[in-house]
């Protein structure tokens, strides 16, 4: 039998395998890829390589998470293995969905102690929908609390519950400590490994993973005789060559310099020409003259190309089925910064700058939606969660943009006359002594307890079904309740009936009375009113929120007031003022802390909270009962 034919008689590209690495956040995907690259000769023996080499952006390195899917390749036994590293966080599920169409198999990583988590369920479900061949990698077997047999059973049950077929559950299993690059296919050896103190006598070896890929993942179809079809699944940008479109060639041959047609999801067709053609070799792009069906390539020369477009031949171009992406669940309003300090710290401050940058982001992030509003200086941006949107905002501020953003709101749906809202599957791992307080906090957030299990070290794992609204601001509260020992994960579950009113903030704001410089004398009196966000010497403006009131109402106070001096009380005799350190909020915390009538002002140098209406008298007029809504506040 021809080695380039599969069991069904279809011709395949036997020298290529396409595989993704999928898992819950922090289960070791990027670390495993590091080990694969190091042990297959991608780096020199004496080369210094940073950890998580594929996490290339500043935010990925700072947060220790993968935000964007990455492509690389490995050569093993004469076969080129294209590897796609995918994000593990639920908010970046759009990255997972669009990249799984490029591969035929997936390495499913699961922590040897934690087992399947909420995002594991999401990525497995997407992999089954794409009919990918799975290889289970039980990672972190060096943990003394590893539950290797139990975790295997939990993954098997998960697949069965998701409707997997007989071939899907007949997956090979390997056991790994990705950090050291040690992998074994022997379950007994894996169990002994976790109990051995001196692990240095085990040589790094990732060949069991690579052998499993060659055996389990099918070679891609090589439909070279058919018209060209390439699905654009990722976009990049280079200052020299412009936009780079990345995707898998499903049929035909992609050739450098060839004219092509761009089939868009809306049915329109444009023309273009391929200027440069690359394939991935390790961490680099290798320029080639053609790429055959089954491989993954990158092209330049077509500026107006977006994710989901099909690059096809000029004669009778036929588009591929569009990429299916889950709809956004959270929306934030971006506004031009109109505070008194606008333009002092940023480079891009106009609505034109804001619009162009948001539209550019929406073209490469298929799970992001940008819409105009009735106001020319405002834009509604919808995404998969508060982290998804906050990463975009943080990226923009580092690029020099100024903006004001509203409180995240969920996207409601109307179905058969009923209001539906998004619900998420929430898992919380906490010490047992904090269970009562956590349950007390989640009650008003309309969370429904689904499951509770006791784990080692007197810890409990609680599973809830909770409205997305109920998650806003939960993370800092959970950290405070559990004194930093709590761990929470959540993933979108479904749309359900509206759960009713949820109050996540029960206090008012302390608002600056005037524009000026904050003084220690004024703050000494102000801190009796609540918790402060500013320090002496900072510049503030009228309408800026400078603290959290201990009561439910907003309160305007003067934090720029100076102590009156006389010939009796001189500056040199001013008593030393001791103040409580201010509360410094990060971007995500500020976004979920604000109320409906407040905004977060974001600049490259500062994150401030302000009232949407800065004028104090106008806010007082709108606060009157006859103008208020059901909750007594005008939004």
- The stretch 379-403 carries a mean pLDDT of 89
- What is the band of 423 on the pLDDT scale with cuts at 50, 70, 90? very high
In a domain, 562, yes or no: no
- The stretch 68-89 carries a mean pLDDT of 76
CA dihedral 157, 160, 166, 172 (to 10 degrees): -40
In a domain, 358, yes or no: no
CA distance 483 to 355: 41
- The stretch 369-379 carries a mean pLDDT of 91
In a domain, 207, yes or no: yes
Q: Taking all residues of the chain, what is their mean pLDDT, rounded to a whole number? A: 82
Q: Are residues 207 and 254 in the same domain?
A: no
Decide which of 283, 312, 341 is a domain's last residue: 312
Q: Quick one: tokens of 142? A: 């060096």
- The stretch 174-183 carries a mean pLDDT of 88
The residue to which tokens 């619009």 are assigned: 355
Decide which of 186, 216, 246 is a domain's last residue: 216
Q: Return the bridge partners of 430, or none.
A: 460
Q: Are residues 96 and 245 in the same domain?
A: no
The residue to which tokens 């669009």 are assigned: 98
Q: What is the pLDDT of residue 100?
A: 82
In a domain, 383, yes or no: no
Q: What is the pLDDT of residue 201?
A: 66
- What is the band of 574 on the pLDDT scale with cuts at 50, 70, 90? very low
CA dihedral 152, 155, 161, 167 (to 10 degrees): -80
User: What would the pLDDT profile of 512-553 be if each residue is shown by its tens digit?
Assistant: 999 999 998 889 888 889 999 999 999 999 999 999 999 988
Q: Are residues 152 and 206 in the same domain?
A: yes
Calculate the CA 260 to chain-centre distance: 34
- What is the band of 630 on the pLDDT scale with cuts at 50, 70, 90? very low
Does the pLDDT at position 316 exceed 60?
Answer: yes
In a domain, 568, yes or no: no
pLDDT above 70 as % of the chain: 86
Q: What is the pLDDT of residue 541?
A: 95
- What is the band of 66 on the pLDDT scale with cuts at 50, 70, 90? very low
In a domain, 591, yes or no: no
Q: Are residues 290 and 426 in the same domain?
A: no
Q: What is the pLDDT of residue 278?
A: 87
Q: Are residues 259 and 212 in the same domain?
A: no
Cα-Cα end-to-end distance for the chain: 72
Does the pLDDT at position 598 exceed 60?
Answer: yes
- What is the band of 10 on the pLDDT scale with cuts at 50, 70, 90? low
Expressed as residue numbers, the domain containing 125 is 16-216
In a domain, 529, yes or no: no
Q: Are residues 178 and 269 in the same domain?
A: no
Q: What is the pLDDT of residue 634?
A: 29
Decide which of 473, 497, 521 is a domain's last residue: 497
- The stretch 211-238 carries a mean pLDDT of 85
Provide the phi-psi class of 486: left if phi over 0, else alpha when psi is between -120 and 50, else beta: beta
- What is the band of 59 on the pLDDT scale with cuts at 50, 70, 90? very low
Lowest mean pLDDT among 30-34, 73-77, 186-190: 30-34
- The stretch 189-216 carries a mean pLDDT of 81
Q: What is the pLDDT of residue 134?
A: 93
Q: What is the pLDDT of residue 628?
A: 42
Q: Are residues 178 and 271 in the same domain?
A: no
**What CATH code is carried by the domain that includes residue 427?**
3.30.70.240
CA distance 593 to 590: 5
Q: What is the pTM of this model?
A: 0.74
In a domain, 65, yes or no: yes
**What CATH code is carried by the domain that includes residue 292?**
2.40.30.10
Of 562, 526, 548, 551, residue with least CA distance to 594: 548
Q: What is the pLDDT of residue 556?
A: 92
Q: What is the pLDDT of residue 627?
A: 41
Q: Are residues 162 and 285 in the same domain?
A: no
Question: Residue 198: which residues within 8 A CB-CB, separation 6 or more?
Answer: none
| Per-residue DSSP letter, 115 | -
Q: Quick one: tokens of 108? A: 């499913």
Q: Quick one: tokens of 558? A: 């003067």
Lowest mean pLDDT among 203-207, 271-275, 364-368, 531-535: 364-368
Q: What is the pLDDT of residue 612?
A: 93
The residue that leads in pLDDT, 533 or 479, is 533
- What is the band of 629 on the pLDDT scale with cuts at 50, 70, 90? very low
Q: Return the bridge partners of 372, or none.
A: 379
Q: What is the pLDDT of residue 1?
A: 35
**DSSP codes joined into one string, 432-455:** GGGHHHHHHHHTTTT-EEEEEEEE
The residue that leads in pLDDT, 56 or 463, is 463
User: 504: helix, coil or strand?
Assistant: coil
Q: Are residues 145 and 42 in the same domain?
A: yes
Does the pLDDT at position 406 exceed 50?
Answer: yes
The residue that leads in pLDDT, 31 or 255, is 255
**DSSP codes joined into one string, 555-569:** EEE-SS------SSS
Q: Are residues 108 and 136 in the same domain?
A: yes
Q: Are residues 245 and 103 in the same domain?
A: no
Q: Are residues 23 and 87 in the same domain?
A: yes
- Hey, how many other C-beta atoms are within 10 angstroms of the C-beta on 596? 13
User: What would the pLDDT profile of 228-283 be if each residue is shown by its tens digit?
Assistant: 999 888 777 776 777 788 888 988 888 988 899 999 888 888 888 899 888 888 77
- How many domains in the chain? 3
- Hey, how many other C-beta atoms are within 10 angstroms of the C-beta on 487? 16
Q: What is the pLDDT of residue 107?
A: 92
């Amino acid at each position: 039998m021809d080695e380039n034919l599969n069991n069904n008689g279809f011709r395949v590209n036997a020298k290529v395998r396409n595989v993704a690495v999928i898992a819950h956040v922090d289960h070791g995907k990027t670390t495993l890829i590091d080990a694969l690259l190091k042990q297959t000769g991608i780096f020199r023996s004496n080369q210094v390589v940073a950890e998580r080499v594929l996490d290339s952006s500043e935010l990925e390195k700072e947060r220790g998470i993968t935000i964007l899917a990455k492509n690389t390749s490995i050569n093993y036994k004469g076969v080129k293995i294209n590897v796609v590293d995918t994000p593990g966080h639920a908010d970046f599920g759009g990255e997972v969905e669009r990249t799984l169409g490029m591969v035929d198999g997936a390495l499913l990583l699961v922590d040897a102690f934690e087992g399947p988590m909420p995002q594991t369920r999401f990525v497995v479900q997407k992999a089954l929908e794409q009919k990918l061949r799975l290889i289970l990698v039980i990672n972190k077997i060096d943990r003394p609390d590893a539950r290797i047999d139990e975790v295997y059973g939990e993954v098997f049950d998960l697949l069965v519950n998701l409707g997997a077929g007989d071939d899907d559950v007949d997956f090979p299993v390997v056991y790994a400590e990705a950090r050291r690059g040690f992998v074994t296919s022997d379950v007994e050896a894996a169990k002994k490994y976790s109990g051995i103190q001196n692990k240095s006598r085990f040589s790094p070896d990732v060949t069991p993973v690579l052998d499993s890929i060659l055996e389990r993942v099918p070679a891609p179809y090589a439909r070279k005789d058919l018209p060209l079809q390439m699905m654009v699944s990722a976009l990049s940008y280079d200052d020299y060559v412009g936009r780079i479109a990345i995707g898998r060639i499903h049929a035909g041959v992609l050739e450098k310099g060839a004219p092509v047609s761009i089939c868009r999801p809306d049915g329109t067709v444009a023309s273009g020409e391929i200027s440069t053609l690359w394939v991935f070799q390790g961490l680099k792009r290798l320029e080639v003259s053609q790429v055959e069906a089954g491989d993954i390539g990158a092209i330049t020369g077509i500026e107006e190309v977006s994710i989901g477009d099909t690059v096809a031949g000029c004669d009778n171009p036929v588009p591929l089925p569009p990429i299916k992406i889950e709809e956004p669940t959270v929306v934030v309003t971006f506004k031009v910064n109109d505070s008194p300090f606008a333009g002092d710290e940023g480079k891009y401050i106009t609505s034109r700058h804001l619009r162009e940058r948001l539209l550019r982001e929406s073209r490469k992030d298929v799970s992001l939606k940008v819409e105009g509003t009735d106001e020319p200086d405002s834009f509604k941006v919808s995404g998969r969660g508060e982290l998804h949107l906050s990463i975009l905002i943080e990226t923009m501020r580092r690029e020099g943009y100024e903006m004001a953003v509203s409180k995240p709101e969920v996207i409601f749906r109307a179905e058969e006359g009923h209001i539906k809202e998004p619900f998420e599957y929430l898992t919380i791992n906490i010490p047992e002594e904090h269970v009562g307080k956590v349950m007390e906090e989640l009650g008003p957030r309309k969370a429904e307890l689904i499951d509770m299990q006791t784990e080692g070290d007197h810890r409990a794992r609680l599973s809830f079904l909770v409205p997305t609204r109920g998650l806003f601001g939960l993370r800092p509260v959970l950290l405070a309740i559990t004194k930093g020992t709590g761990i929470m994960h959540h993933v979108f579950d479904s749309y359900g009936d509206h759960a009713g009113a949820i109050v996540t903030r029960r206090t008012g704001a302390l608002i600056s009375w005037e524009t000026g410089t904050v003084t220690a004398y004024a703050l000494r009196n102000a801190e009796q009113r609540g918790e402060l966000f500013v320090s002496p010497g900072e510049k503030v403006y009228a309408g800026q929120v400078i603290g959290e009131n201990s009561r439910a109402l907003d309160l305007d106070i003067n934090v720029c007031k100076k102590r009156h001096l006389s010939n009796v009380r001189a500056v040199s005799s001013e008593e030393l003022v001791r103040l409580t350190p201010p509360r410094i909020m990060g971007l995500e915390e500020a976004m979920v802390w604000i109320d409906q009538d407040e905004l977060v002002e974001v600049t490259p140098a500062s994150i401030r909270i302000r009232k949407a209406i800065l004028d104090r008298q106008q806010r007082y007029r709108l606060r009157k009962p006859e103008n208020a809504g059901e909750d007594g506040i005008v939004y």
